[in-house]
Amino acid sequence: MTSYCALLRGIGPGNPNMRNDRLREVFEHLGFADVASVLSSGNILFSTEDGTAAPELEDRIQSALHHELGIGGGTILRSRAELETLVAREPFGGLGHSKQTYLTVTFLKEPLDPAPAPFPVPDTDQVRIQGYDAATRAVLAVVDTTGIKTPDYMSWLERTFSNGITTRTWNTVTKILKKLPAG
């Protein structure tokens, strides 16, 4: 049994079709086990025994979300093992999540192969790229939100890495991992 988190892009919980109960129903209809949600921003946890590769699962899930709920966003999967490895690395060291140190993890659908050198850097001193975690295909950044509008940073991420991305806070990533069933 493999446990995954589906990180859904473009989820607005105010839309009735994007509420957690509706999202979970789609995953249950697909036959997944241990379906649960974390927060209300498109983090759906599930387990499967079918051995299907993650990219195929992403396509199957996205197709079902589109056909059943009209959601066209995007689906990016990460396994429990991938998230455990990322969290164990402690990529942010001793930094705590605050307005001055808003810790973000941007998951990319496709790997950066090879990762660009030098790594792209936003043209603001209020965003510090911590690095790229190749194993989880994630860009790690610390954002000072006291003087910058976060959407500006999000636009830079999309221009730089495509719109096949989705961003979560470090706090959300650790909450997801705590709730994911052990495989």
What is the per-residue pLDDT across 41-83, written as a single tens digit (0 to 9) for each?
899 999 999 889 999 999 999 999 999 999 988 999 999 999 9
* Digit-coded pLDDT (tens) for 6-37: 999 988 878 888 999 999 999 999 999 999 99
Give the model's pLDDT for residue 140: 97
d(CA 148, CA 152): 8
Single-letter code of the amino acid located at 46: F
Give domain 2-81's CATH architecture.
Answer: 2-Layer Sandwich (3.30)
Is the bond preceding 16 in cis, omega lying within 30 degrees of 0?
Answer: no
Whether residue 183 has pLDDT greater than 80: no
Q: Where are the beta strands (DSSP E) in 10-72?
A: 33-37, 43-48
Model confidence over 101-137: pLDDT tens digits? 999 999 999 999 899 999 999 988 889 999 999 999 9
Q: Decide if 2-81 and 92-179 have a common fold.
A: yes
**Four-residue CA torsion sign, 63, 69, 71, 75:** negative
Domain over 92-179 is classified CATH 1.10.287: no
Q: Residue 17: in which H helix or E strand, if any?
A: none
Closest by alpha carbon to 6, among 166, 151, 141? 166
Contact predicate 170/138, CB 8 Å: no
Half-sphere exposure of 73 (CA within 13 A, CB side): 21
Domain ranges of the chain: 2-81, 92-179
The tokens describing 145, both together, are 């939100």
